[in-house]
Chains A and B, each alone.
Chain A
Amino acid sequence: MNNIPKQTPEIFGILSRGNFISSNGSKGKLYDIISHQENFQVLKELFGHTGYVLEHGHNYYYFSHTEEPNQSIEKKLEQFAYYIDVMDFFSSMDQKPSVGTRYRITQIAEQCFSNERLKQKIVALSRREKMVDKVSEIANDLAQSGFFEQEDEDTYKVMDAIHYLEQVITLITINEDGE
């Protein structure tokens, strides 16, 4: 195999944990490396031997895997249901969670105090006591999955990988049956 980039272990480390590599995050450098010339093909073939498939979304990369243990389906459903809640929370704010949006924890917390609807949503999402802690718990959750990235103590930025959630949501069809 020719010219495997030297950052390959780092790339594998991130992706194999189920994380995303987005072009607008601090890992943007790795995104550029994967996109560089034939690297995507080279890496896709290389990682193919490990059972993971390197996938390309709009400005982000991630791993998928082919064989599927059955017991995980339930877990997946649960987890995605959680993302619906979280995304619903962020979509209900003035600032929408689109790529590049920056959220400040304290600001969100303030909004939750003044907006009863948001307040109800966040209370349902997190059991932490303080409002600020509730918000940062959720933001951290999203950051851990690679949809957000923490820029400093208070600020989170929305990554390109958010498109992934949008993509799944688009795939779901709602059957309104004459409502």
Chain B
Amino acid sequence: MSDEKLEKLVMYEIIHENNNVIGLDDRIITFIEEFLEIGEVTTSFINDNIQSLNENLKYYRIDSNSKFLRNIKRSLKKISSTTSREVMKLHKNIDDTYKNQDNYLIKLQELDKYKAKRDDIINLIRESEQIIFEAQGFFNTIIDAELNSIVLDLRYILVRNRDYLNEIQSQIIDFINRIQYQAAIYKKIQRLKELKDYEELKYKTNFIEVVSGTNTLMFRRRAFLKSRLSLDFLYSDQGHLLTRKVAGRLDILRNSGRKPAGKMVDGFDESIHEESTSLNIEGLVDKFMECDTDLFEFILNYKFPKKVGELTIEKRISLYVGISIDYDNKLLISGKLGKMDYVNEKKQKLKLGYAIIKPNSKRSHE
């Protein structure tokens, strides 16, 4: 804020300056406190209204002018609102003092002060109730619907606040006791420390029993709950970003200009799946058992179903080897060799020797 503006505010008495400390004007602070129902508890408002109620009642008895009746109503309403407000403030301040006042002697004195204030408010409530009680007959003679409802309302509010104050009373006493009791605790701590320094804690106190009897979590070694990353999360877009970030930090991606591969063809995994199931080796062996040829010829000439496609000679050979190993108990290896010529992919002529294997019909019938 510019100096000019500040000066203006000072001129209008909205703020004042003192030793470089700028503060709001007292009247504004009072207004804000009243508006927010905060600040110091005071009984004078209630008191003033009781006085004015008394006066106006007196005047109205002398001269039943509606002006005085209006004032009576006003005072009654104000008693009810100010009482409620002060009780609320009292409660807030007590709580705040207990929890936040940092000096323990001041705290004790403040609480004592609020205890006295509480007694004052209770007395004022009694006084108000007394006045209303005495004036009830008089109010009855005045025919005014609004007055009746105001009186009823006030009575109800006074009773409620009195209950509230009784609660506050026990709270203050509790707080004060706690604080005084703390003083005793400080002494005890120092005594315990003394015993501890003399190594007498174990012998002169029941320290071990008490402390081992406490089952607060505090004393356990802090084991943090560990959880695993959710796989579903890693598959998500956010998970991808996160893994990239971590990989970047770990410098894993430094040499890779590689991009992720393009999208896989739909159903790429199905085709692999199909081939492996359609080559039914078990069935092939069963068929072979019923033939009279040798295994090599059988496989070389076997017509596989169309969906398997054309098998190359190399594949057929590896199938032959595979079967001869896996099913050797069903097979009869004669020890003779067969020979054949074939041309491989590079157009080289090759000679191939193979063992002649026949079905072992004896064993398979066992």
Taking residues whose C-beta sits less than 8 angstroms from the other chain, chain A's interface range is 35 or more
Bound Cα distance A62, B100 (Å): 21
Chain B residues whose CB sits within 8 angstroms of the CB of A177 once the complex forms: 204
Bound Cα distance A18, B206 (Å): 24
B231 CB within 8 Å of chain A: no
Are A98 and B179 interface neighbours, CB within 8 A? yes
- Give the residue among B99, B183, B201 with the most A Cβ atoms within 10 A: B99
Which parts of A125-158 form the interface with B (CB within 8 Å)? Answer: 145-146, 157
B contact patch SS? helix
Are B216 and A62 interface neighbours, CB within 8 A? yes
On whether A173 and B205 interact (CB within 8 A), knowing A88-B193, A168-B211, the answer reads yes
Are B99 and A62 interface neighbours, CB within 8 A? no
| Stretch of B162-170, B220-228, B278-286, B350-358 on the interface side | B220-228
B contacts with A, residue count (CB < 8 A) = 42
Contact of B219 among A75, A166, A169 (CB under 8 A): A75
**Which of chain B's residues has its CB closest to A13's CB?**
B225
A172 CB within 8 Å of chain B: yes
Are B100 and A100 interface neighbours, CB within 8 A? yes
Which parts of A48-72 form the interface with B (CB within 8 Å)? Answer: 52, 55, 58-59, 62-66, 68, 72
Q: Mark B103-134, 1 if CB is under 8 A from A, else 0.
A: 11001000000000000000000000000000
Are A175 and B204 interface neighbours, CB within 8 A? yes
Bound Cα distance A88, B107 (Å): 21
Q: Mark B171-195, 1 if CB is under 8 A from A, else 0.
A: 0000000110011011011111101
On whether A166 and B220 interact (CB within 8 A), knowing A99-B99, A100-B101, A172-B192, the answer reads no
Other contacts beyond A18-B216, A95-B103, A172-B192: 14, CB < 8 A: A16-B217, A17-B222, A18-B217, A18-B218, A66-B215, A72-B219, A77-B208, A100-B100, A101-B104, A145-B218, A172-B188, A172-B210, A173-B206, A175-B205
20 A-B contact pairs sorted by A residue (CB < 8 Å): A15-B217, A17-B224, A59-B99, A64-B216, A72-B219, A77-B212, A80-B219, A88-B189, A88-B193, A91-B186, A98-B107, A98-B179, A100-B107, A157-B102, A169-B189, A172-B210, A173-B205, A174-B192, A175-B204, A177-B204
